[in-house]
Amino acid sequence: MFKKILVANRGEIAVRIVRACSEMGIKSVAIYTDADRQALHVKKADEAYHIGADPVAGYLNAHNIVNLAVAAGCDALHPGYGFLSENPELAEICERRGVKFIGPKADVIRQMGDKIQARNAMTKAGIPCTPGSNGNLKNLEEAVALASKIGYPVMLKATNGGGGRGIRRCDSEKELLGNYDRVISEASKAFGKPEVFIEKCVVSPRHIEVQVLADAQGNAIHLFERDCSIQRRNQKLIEIAPSPQLSQAQREYIGGLAVKAAKAVGYENAGTVEFLLDSDNTFYFMEMNTRLQVEHTVTETITGIDIVQEQIRVAYGLPLQYKQKDVSFRGYAMEFRINAEDPKNGFLPSFGKITRYYAPGGPGVRMDAAIFSGYEIPPYYDSMCAKLTVWALTWEGVIERGRRALDDMIIYGVKTTIPYYQEILKHQEFRDAEFNTSFVEMHPELANYANEIPPELIAAAISAVIAAHEGI
């Protein structure tokens, strides 16, 4: 097995990978910028190295990171998610320097990262895709002509995009004319490439994704699906496994499609095949994420399979420990992305010092976090500061456990999405599992009730006043 792994990331995912290494008897190496000197992943790893003052650039310099891995004696590198996790150049540099990249091959990352290539590969493999362009759009005139052919609404998307960026819905030719240059600009700034394509917009779909694992011996399996329909501006907020909205037949069908997709491109390691499910119960391939997902925790919770450890084993050259017949799930799991945002103020980021933090606990509760009391959330990174995952045997049970765990969780000093999620859990459509990707948009009133002063804080304030009065 590997002796030492460099974790090319930060925050909660870096802590998650460090813990997996520890359980496997592997030394871990963390990296950090000035903004992360006091970060938890730095404290948890066996070794930690400074990579510069710039809060972001250090995590994006593939050559420096791999040079550091070599200098530190690492024989493997785990990219986590975000940053360079889907950068084929990082995988190529690792290969040249003799450091094993814990992820798929560079050519597969490149192929599936290019949405046009991915669509074409899936079409060839018989995976259903939404109608759209077979290549990058040459100009606005081609976009208008194609949109007229497939019918509005359409989606303009950055070919190399991800994370909900570089995407615009166009309900008419006028909107297409107005959004075309915007998407080109967003694609250039966010991904360094101006290429965009167009596809039919599936209105108010359910967002269903399937976790896959594949090894170098040609074995590929799925670990069932996750429902990621609760999202805001294409950013996921709550993830659920399995989907409470699918029948067993649909579950088996989409799982088979995902394995077929992985085999079609010679995939190795962990990946996620994402689909849209329309109102006619038709599945359409959307994209494949060639990395570990933020929401991998819900899949681990229902299956009992440690996806990160399996990633490491596969990268070392070992076959999967499981065959498809060995994989089953039990109950439901739900993950809440705890974002440092103010739902009442348009979800604006709320960075700053956490004055008090209490993690929830009890049966069926898992916390993935890199925060602690006194930690200063830096303004340079994504606003997600923690992930709360809950499990229960039934759909009703997991909702109630989520409600209880959110009530238990206390973060003072910054505003978070915790009270917003509490409102979602109360909503009857959510409780009835009758929701799709338009749920958040259709219920803006839920944010109006968020961020009320917690009873605990009111009680603490009253107690402080009484104590001060008695002291006088």
| Angstrom distance (rounded) from CA 310 to CA 322 | 10
| Angstrom distance (rounded) from CA 159 to CA 190 | 12
Per DSSP, helices labelled H in 322-454 are 395-408, 418-426, 428-431, 439-442
Helix, strand or coil for residue 358? Answer: strand
Tokens, residue 457:
């804080």
Q: Which of 16, 291, 337, 366 is catalytic?
A: 291
CA 7 to chain centre: 17
Buried residues in 316-335 as b, exposed as e (16+ CB within 10 A): eeeebeeeeeebebebbbbb
Helix, strand or coil for residue 138? Answer: coil
CA 291 to chain centre: 10
225 pairs with which residues across the strands?
210
Buried residues in 160-171 as b, exposed as e (16+ CB within 10 A): bbbbebbbbbbe
Please indicate whether residue 291 is annotated as part of the active site: yes
Q: What is the dihedral of CA 17, 22, 25, 26, to 10 degrees?
A: 40
- Catalytic positions, please? 291
